[in-house]
């Protein structure tokens, strides 16, 4: 309170009137407003109008609305929020994570297979048979299988690097140009399975079994895509 001070020896009649000055600045209390969609809290949060006591009613106080918020409401709101359709940005982020995981895993597998080809390498030189230490054994024993394995393994490794590079460029990785990543992923999976088939086959029987396994995988992928579109 600010005003005119009155001395201790002065009489009450001589003291001037005390002047009340309005506050220079009004203190405002911060209010946090949380926006919640009506669909998210439907049936969870209920409101009840509580009338004021009789004494306060006589003073003209209005009714008060009390919101009931049970403990289970938080879990229910979170569940309904997760059930809402995801936005385009959220779908892109989720797909980027899965593609990056697939590309990183495939790149590590194909890189290890290139340094350690199936069948190993020759440890010593053999001038009579023409074997050189460090050369792949599969290349000298079955040149066609090794060439097919090397081609599929190289294409799979290259497509993995292209997927990682594509995910790093936001202008390319978007919904309108998602077909680029889809083509690279399909190429990556096909060549990876081809490298497994040619690298593990030791006879015609093994090659036929691996071919049937690849066909079953392709049929499963096609059926999954058909069911997804239905």
Q: Average pLDDT per run of 10 along the chain, which is 230 residues long?
A: 46 49 47 49 52 52 58 69 62 80 91 87 74 78 85 93 84 70 86 85 73 75 72
Structural domain of 211? 88-229
Could you tell me if residue 191 is inside a domain?
yes
Tell me how many domains the chain contains. Answer: 1
H or E stretch including 48?
Answer: strand 46-50
Query: Angle 67-71-73 (CA atoms, 0-180°, nearest 5)?
Result: 70
What is the pLDDT at residue 48?
54
- On whether residue 195 sits in a domain, the answer given is yes
What are phi and psi for residue 66, nearest 5 degrees? -105, 125
Q: What is the pLDDT of residue 135?
A: 80
Distance, CA of 220 to chain centre: 25
Length of the chain: 230
pLDDT one-digit tens code per residue, 29-88: 444 444 555 555 555 555 555 555 555 445 555 555 556 666 666 677 677 666 665 556
Tell me the β-bridge partners of 50. Answer: 64
Residue 228: predicted pLDDT: 66
d(CA 94, CA 46): 35
In DSSP terms, which residues pair with 136 in a beta bridge?
Answer: 121
Give the pairing of strands 64-68 and 46-50.
antiparallel
* Three-state DSSP string of 79-114: HHHHHCCCCHHHHHHHHHHHHHHHHHHHHHHHHHHH
The answer as to whether 27 is a domain residue is: no
CA distance 95 to 164: 13
Residue 176 belongs to some domain of the structure: yes
* Closest CA relative to residue 167, chosen from 86, 92, 88, 89: 92
């Amino acid at each position: 309170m600010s005003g005119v001070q009155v001395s201790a020896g002065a009489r009450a009649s001589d003291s001037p009137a005390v002047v009340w000055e309005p506050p220079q600045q009004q203190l405002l209390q911060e209010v946090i407003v949380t926006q919640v969609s009506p669909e998210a809290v439907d049936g969870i949060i209920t409101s009840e109008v509580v009338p004021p006591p009789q004494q306060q009613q006589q003073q003209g106080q209005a009714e008060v609305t009390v919101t009931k918020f049970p403990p289970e409401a938080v879990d229910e709101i979170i569940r309904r929020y997760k059930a809402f359709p995801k936005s385009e940005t959220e779908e892109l982020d989720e797909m980027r994570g899965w593609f990056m995981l697939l590309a990183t895993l495939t790149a590590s597998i194909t890189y290890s297979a290139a340094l350690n080809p199936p069948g190993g390498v020759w440890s010593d030189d053999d001038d009579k048979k023409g074997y050189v230490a460090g050369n792949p054994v599969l290349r000298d024993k079955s040149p066609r299988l090794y060439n097919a394995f090397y081609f599929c393994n190289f294409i799979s490794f290259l497509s993995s690097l292209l997927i990682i590079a594509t995910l790093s460029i936001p202008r390319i990785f978007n919904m309108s140009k998602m077909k680029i990543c889809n083509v690279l992923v399909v190429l990556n999976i096909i060549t990876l399975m081809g490298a497994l088939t040619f690298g593990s086959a030791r006879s015609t029987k093994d090659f036929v079994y691996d071919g049937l396994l690849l066909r079953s995988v392709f049929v499963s992928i096609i059926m999954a895509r058909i069911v997804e579109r239905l």
